[in-house]
Structure 1
Amino acid sequence: MASSDPEKLMAKADKITKLSFTRWNADWKNAAVLYEQAAIAYRLAKQNEKAKIAFEKASKGQEMLSSPWDAARFMESAAAMAKELGSWNEVADFYRRASELYIECGRSQPASDALAKGARALEESMPEEAARLYVSACEILEEDEKEQMAFDLYRAAASVYIKLEKYEDAAATLLRLGLAADKSNAKNSQCKAYLSAIIVYLYTHDFKQAEKCYNDCLQTDAFMDSDQFRLASKLLSAYREGDIEEIKRVAQSSTISNLEHVIIRLARKLPTGELNAIRAEVAGEDGDELDEDNLV
């Protein structure tokens, strides 16, 4: 049957959208329907490359008809086909475009979801892009004051950064999660995020940054009253004293076990560096003023 042949459907759609001396206006209304029918037929036939192109054209058709919602849906379908083909750059581009189209509709949740789908698809092949997509997905929700919807996305971004060994980015992302949780009055998530950031800094043997992070977190009442605060205090005290066994003991606690798996793995490897330097640094800081006074 001619109408079900995707090649003929595509040819007809292309024809009625091409301007000529005899055709002054493109017929996007009928073309969009034809492109969609062709895309579905190609997908059923597992001709993914052709399905991708057809869905992309169907999306463009809906854009021309000022229907960004339908355009976004078809762009997501094109992204799914690109994923099947392993065309990772197109996966990123298509999901970003779908997100932009959802934003045009004023729909932050599906806009964020589109970026998150792209991020999950790219975690193995393009992890840095995946992390960027996760963070962008969070920002869309935060701009719409839906911080509580972004928690898992921030955790996913931090996890990708840790796998990339971009520990500063991971810690910064966890602190952003803590801030989002604070705005949402999600105290448990907030305290877990703060403790996780401290652990990341300790894993990189940056005691000074871990201590600064800890002191900054003390400004929040929720953290001061939490199990995570008490554990962080014990951990930092053990570092100051250079007590390897105590660090290992604290890292095995149930409070640590309730964190994300990537954070648990880091904690269970503590301490990762030479503790004598930290002890000397702490002793030097404590003794600076005394030494100055003793010059008399």
Structure 2
Amino acid sequence: MSQAEAQTLLDQAEKHLNNKTMLFKKSPEYDKAADCFQKAAQIFRSPTVKAFDKAISALERAAQAHASNGVHFSAATALENAGNILRDSKEPAKAADMYKRAMELYQRCNNVEKACDSLLKAAKAVADVDVDRAIGLYLEAIELLVSEERHIFVGDTWRNCLALMIRNARLDDAVKLLERMFPIFEKLEQPEYLRKAQLSVVVIKLTQSDVGAAGQACDAYGDFALSAEGGAARELIEAFEAGDADKVKAVASEQTFTLLENQVARLAGKLRDICLSQEEDLTGARG
């Protein structure tokens, strides 16, 4: 395989796009053109050629041909493949743009799962370089699934989003996400996930040294106060209020907390130090 072979395929694709009938009326052969563009892309991206920019261009042309032919799924797949090349070429922003274009085409053919998958790929592509954009893409994926009554598929999406938020100290956003998940867990009849999410809010509020808000959350979540998680939350808050750092550590080390989402469990593991720091600040203020 060589660039010359790929160029021949591109030339053939153009001929198919400019095909004319016996009466010289233009009659594009979009399916044949798309096939040529995709074969050219395969050559351009092959280990022996590695002309990645040309591969991306060929895939975009293939997507255009497929879309013109009304085959939006194949058009989306071509753009998704172009996004993969950009991702592997360490161009995350451009990769995310390409995945977003693929998502829009998947939506046009009512393939919600593939549309969501493209959004997740876009979010992961930019997670290390543009946190705000990544969070926005994750949230868009969640809302897409919810709007299409695909609540059952939200799991990995909200977890990845929550982890990203906490890793980047976007704790207020994390609380909003968790509270957004409450009605979804209720709809899915997953009370154990609901209680864990409610407890996670308490942990985050305490991480922010906002004991009052943590207590208000406990009171606002109805039956949560009657659950094991609610009891653990109240015990933790009382230890915080008493400035008892050792008790905070003991409570936060219980399985109720260690079984929370990883990033939240790590926050719980740091609560003793936060309690100590808070108590030192109060002692200093009294002095």
Q: TM-score, normalised by structure 2?
A: 0.87
1:142-185 C-alpha deviation (Å, 9 max, x unpaired): 01112121022111111111122111001111222232111111
User: What's 2:142 paired with?
Assistant: 138
Letter of the aligned partner of 2:158 in structure 1? Y
1:158 aligns with 2:162: yes
- Rounded to whole Å, the distance in 1 between the matches of 2:172 and 2:201 is 9
Contact 1:151 1:181 in 2 (8 A): no
CA RMSD, Structure 1 to Structure 2 (Å): 2.6
Amino acid at match of 2:83: A
Matched residue type, 2:262: H
Who is 1:245 aligned against?
246
Aligned to 2:114: 110
Q: 1:43 maps to what in 2? A: 45
Runs (4+) off by over 6 Å = 1-4, 276-279
Alpha-carbon separation, structure 2, partners of 1:193 and 1:235: 16
Supply the distance in 1 between the matched residues of 2:270 and 2:160 (Cα, whole angstroms). Answer: 21
Residue in structure 2 matched with residue 291 of structure 1 by the alignment: none
2-side partners of 1:210 and 1:18: how far apart?
Answer: 67
| Displacement after TM superposition at 1:72 (Å) | 1.1
Mapping 1:144-293, distance limit 5 Å: 144-217=148-221, 219=222, 221=223, 223-271=224-272, 272=274, 273-275=277-279
Aligned partners of 1:257, 1:212: CA distance in 2, in Å? Answer: 23
The SS at the match of 1:165 is: coil
Q: What is residue 7 of structure 2 aligned with on the other side?
A: 7
* Rounded Cα–Cα distance in structure 2 between residues aligned with 1:92 and 1:32: 23
- Aligned pair count reads 275
Distance, in Å, in 2 between the alignment partners of 1:115 and 1:163 is: 20
User: 1:226 and 1:71 mapped to 2: Cα distance?
Assistant: 50
Residues 202, 14 of structure 1: CA spacing in aligned structure 2 closer, same or farther, 3 A cutoff? farther
CA distance in 2, matches of 1:23, 1:4: 31
After superposition, the Cα gap between the structure-2 partners of 1:151 and 1:216, relative to the gap in structure 1 and judged at 3 Å, is farther
2:72 corresponding residue in structure 1:
68
- Larger CA deviation: 178-187 vs 39-48: 39-48
Q: CA deviation at 1:270?
A: 0.7
For 1:17 and 1:75, locate their aligned partners in 2 and report how far apart those are by CA, in whole Å. 19
CA pair 61-263 structure 1, distance change in 2 beyond 3 A: same
* Partners of 2:3 and 2:43 within 8 A in 1: no
Change in 2 beyond 3 A, CA 1:35/1:23: farther
Query: Aligned letter for 2:8?
Result: K
1:132 and 1:264 map into 2 onto residues whose CA distance is: 24
Per-residue CA distance 1:237-276 (angstroms, 9 max, x = gap)? 1122222221111111111111122111111111424148
Q: How does 1:9-24 map to 2 (within 5 A)?
A: 9-17=9-17, 24=26
Q: What is the CA–CA distance in structure 1 between the aligned matches of 2:2 and 2:87, rounded to whole Å?
A: 30
Identity of aligned residues (%): 27
Aligned to 1:282: none
Choose from 115, 120, 124 the match for 2:128. 124
